[in-house]
Homo-oligomer: A and B are copies of this chain.
Amino acid sequence: MVKLTAQRQAILDLINASNRHWDAEELSRALGDAGQAVGIATVYRGLAFLEAEGLVASIQLADRKRYERADKAHHDHMVCTACGHIEEFAHATIEALQEAAARERGFTISGHQLVMFGRCADCTKGNNT
Q: Please tell me the size bucket of the interface on A.
A: 20 to 34
Residue A49 lies at the interface, judged by CB distance under 8 Å to chain B? no
Copy number in the complex reads 2
| Complex: A98 Cα to B108 Cα, angstroms | 23
Contact A124 B107 (CB under 8 A): yes
Q: Which of A6-14, A22-30, A66-74, A86-94 contacts B (4 or more CB under 8 A)?
A: A86-94
Report A77-88 CB contacts with B as 1/0, cut-off 8 Å.
010110000010
Q: Which residues of B contact A98 (CB under 8 A)?
A: 91, 94, 114, 116
Q: Which residues of B contact A125 (CB under 8 A)?
A: 106
Q: Which of B105, B118, B119 is the one whose CB lies under 8 Å from A87?
A: B105
Q: Which residues of B contact A78 (CB under 8 A)?
A: 102, 105, 107, 109
Residue A18 lies at the interface, judged by CB distance under 8 Å to chain B? no
